[in-house]
């Protein structure tokens, strides 16, 4: 990994060494081996040391100290379009609370509230559920710039209430939840974990053990030697939301696939990826805490976890189709005209061109448009969702839901 050394300043390397010692102690305490989901949890969230727990500047615009860009960071038109769906269902269903899970830099919260205000509807409460103290501090800095009437509606929840009614949103949250790794051998599936190595340059190594974890049916398509991810933490999170949601909508946007695509034989190396300084690499054991670690979402598993706690699957589609259904092109047209003193049509100045380029990134199949998906889960709602009017792909997920729990 020498090609990445220049990406880690001294402060990052010192923190990484401290986190490495913490991980090595966890390995020793566990008898010499920890499962990968435990390693990923420590690498990302160990208090004061993990990637998200120590560095609030990990996401943002291109360049600078950020490592990756999310859709809300690309353009406020993403939030403005999402606001149309949120306001429509909240008004129709008399829901006065929005909950954002993992609010990142706070950009989506700020832009979404401003867009809702422009549409003439605001929630009584905008609650942010955030596990990282560092990210919460960054969100608070972002929110401080809002007008008082918007800022006063935002609160932070330390935990989910036992019962709540709300519109729940999450953008690129599920992909950052710890995953287990499974490796297929001629004898069956093994669980991949982490152990210490006698190597000063790379002090951690992979180690595989027999596992009692149940594989999903679609994993039968994977060949010997294949590695894939099991999303127990994600499924448990969806189940907890479903158990505590009284009435409302869960809307998650993330990159991923239905199970039959997730476990396609051509994806035999799995989906685990790391991100540092807008570059991707595939060595999560390298300098823990200095790179983001993610895995694509198995949306069939999300749908099944939701069904098992009685949630309705209301929609599943690509990000491009969802945003188009919600009027992104109309929103873009209005924004370009506003940037051109009311003149509509093709962008003719830098502001209009920048907005159009950002929207292209949200919609393009080569960028975020197809890889990112949107899933809608709900309880007790009657309002049709505009985001799934065309191009709904629920059938691709229902095939993986057991008949006894399918709705």
Instruction: Give a yes or no: residue 229 inside a domain.
Output: yes
Residues 203 and 301 in one domain: yes
221 has pLDDT over 60: yes
Residues 210 and 290 in one domain: yes
68 has pLDDT over 90: no
Q: Please give the residue that has the higher pLDDT: either 132 or 380.
A: 380
Instruction: Give a yes or no: residue 120 inside a domain.
Output: no
Residues 195 and 305 in one domain: yes
55 has pLDDT over 90: no
Is the separation of the CB atoms in 302 and 174 below 8 Å?
yes
pLDDT given for residue 4 in this prediction: 45
9 — pLDDT class (breaks 50, 70, 90): low
pLDDT given for residue 227 in this prediction: 97
Highest mean pLDDT among 125-134, 174-183, 339-348: 174-183
Residues 324 and 305 in one domain: no
The helix/strand count (H/E) of the chain reads as 15, 16
**In 311-349, which ranges are continuous DSSP H helix?**
319-325, 328-339
pLDDT (tens digit per residue) in 364-373? 999 999 999 9
**Final residue before a domain boundary, out of 310, 336, 360:** 310
pTM score over 0.75: yes
CB-count burial class (<10 Å; 0-12, 13-18, 19+) for 284 = buried
Instruction: Give a yes or no: residue 89 inside a domain.
Output: no
Instruction: Give a yes or no: residue 192 inside a domain.
Output: yes
**Average pLDDT for 124-150:** 94
Residues 225 and 338 in one domain: no
Domain extent for 337? 319-374
**Average pLDDT for 74-87:** 96
pLDDT (tens digit per residue) in 307-346? 999 999 999 999 999 999 999 999 999 888 888 877 777 7
Q: Would you mind telling me the total number of residues written for the chain in this entry?
A: 407
Tokens of 327: 């009027």
Read off the CATH number of the domain in which 228 is found.
Answer: 3.40.50.12710
403 has pLDDT over 50: no
Tokens of 184: 């297929």
**Average pLDDT for 377-392:** 97
Residues 190 and 213 in one domain: yes
Residues 204 and 329 in one domain: no
Instruction: Give a yes or no: residue 235 inside a domain.
Output: yes
Residues 332 and 299 in one domain: no
pLDDT given for residue 211 in this prediction: 87
376 has pLDDT over 90: yes
Instruction: Give a yes or no: residue 125 inside a domain.
Output: no
Residues 306 and 190 in one domain: yes
pLDDT (tens digit per residue) in 208-217? 999 888 899 9
Q: Give dist(CA 145, CA 176) in Å, integer.
A: 28
pLDDT > 70 in the chain, percent: 92
- Cα–Cα distances (Å) from 195 to 30, 147, 200, in that order, read 10, 50, 14
Q: How many domains does the chain have?
A: 2
Residues 291 and 185 in one domain: yes
Residues 209 and 298 in one domain: yes
Is the separation of the CB atoms in 382 and 93 below 8 Å?
yes
Q: DSSP E strands: which ranges in 288-384?
A: 292-294, 297-298, 312-318, 372-379
pLDDT given for residue 351 in this prediction: 83
Residues 196 and 337 in one domain: no
pLDDT given for residue 189 in this prediction: 95
**Final residue before a domain boundary, out of 287, 310, 333:** 310
Instruction: Give a yes or no: residue 108 inside a domain.
Output: no
Instruction: Give a yes or no: residue 382 inside a domain.
Output: no
**Final residue before a domain boundary, out of 281, 310, 339:** 310
Comparing C-alpha atoms, which of 140, 156, 132, 130 is closest to residue 54?
A: 132
Q: Give dist(CA 3, CA 299) in Å, integer.
A: 34
């Amino acid at each position: 990994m020498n090609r990445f050394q220049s990406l880690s300043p001294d402060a990052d390397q010192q923190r990484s060494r401290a986190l490495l010692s913490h991980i090595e102690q966890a390995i020793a305490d566990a008898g010499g081996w920890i499962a990968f989901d435990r390693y990923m949890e420590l690498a990302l969230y160990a208090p004061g040391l993990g990637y998200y727990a120590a560095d609030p500047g990990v996401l943002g615009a291109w360049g600078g100290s950020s490592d990756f860009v999310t859709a809300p960071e690309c353009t406020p038109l993403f939030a403005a379009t999402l606001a149309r769906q949120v306001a429509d269902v909240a008004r129709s269903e008399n829901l006065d609370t929005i909950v954002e899970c993992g609010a990142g830099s706070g950009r989506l919260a700020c832009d979404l509230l401003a867009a809702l205000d422009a549409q003439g509807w605001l929630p009584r409460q905008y609650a942010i559920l955030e596990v990282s103290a560092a990210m919460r501090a960054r969100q608070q800095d972002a929110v401080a710039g809002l007008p008082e009437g918007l800022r006063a509606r935002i609160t932070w929840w330390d935990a989910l209430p036992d019962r709540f009614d709300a519109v729940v949103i999450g953008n690129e949250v599920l992909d950052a939840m710890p995953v287990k790794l499974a490796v297929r051998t001629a004898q069956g599936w093994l669980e991949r974990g982490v152990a210490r190595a006698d190597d000063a340059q790379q002090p951690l190594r992979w180690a595989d053990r027999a596992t009692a974890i149940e594989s999903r049916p679609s994993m039968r398509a994977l060949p010997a030697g294949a590695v894939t991810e099991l999303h127990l933490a994600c499924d448990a999170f969806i189940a907890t939301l479903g158990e505590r949601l009284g009435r409302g909508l869960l809307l998650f946007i993330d990159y991923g696939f239905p199970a039959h695509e997730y476990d396609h034989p051509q994806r035999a190396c799995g989906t685990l990826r790391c991100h540092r300084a807008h570059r991707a690499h595939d060595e999560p054991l390298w300098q823990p805490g200095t790179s983001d670690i993610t895995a694509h979402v198995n949306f069939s598993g999300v749908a099944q976890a939701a069904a098992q706690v009685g949630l309705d699957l209301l929609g599943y589609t690509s990000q491009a189709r969802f945003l188009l259904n919600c009027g992104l092109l109309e929103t873009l047209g209005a924004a370009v005209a506003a940037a051109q003193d009311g003149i509509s049509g093709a962008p003719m100045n830098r502001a209009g061109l920048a907005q159009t380029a950002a929207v292209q990134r949200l919609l393009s199949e080569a960028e975020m448009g197809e890889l990112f998906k949107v899933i809608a889960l709900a309880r007790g709602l009657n309002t049709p969702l505009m985001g799934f009017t065309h191009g709904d792909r629920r059938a691709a997920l229902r095939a993986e839901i057991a008949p006894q729990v399918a709705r």
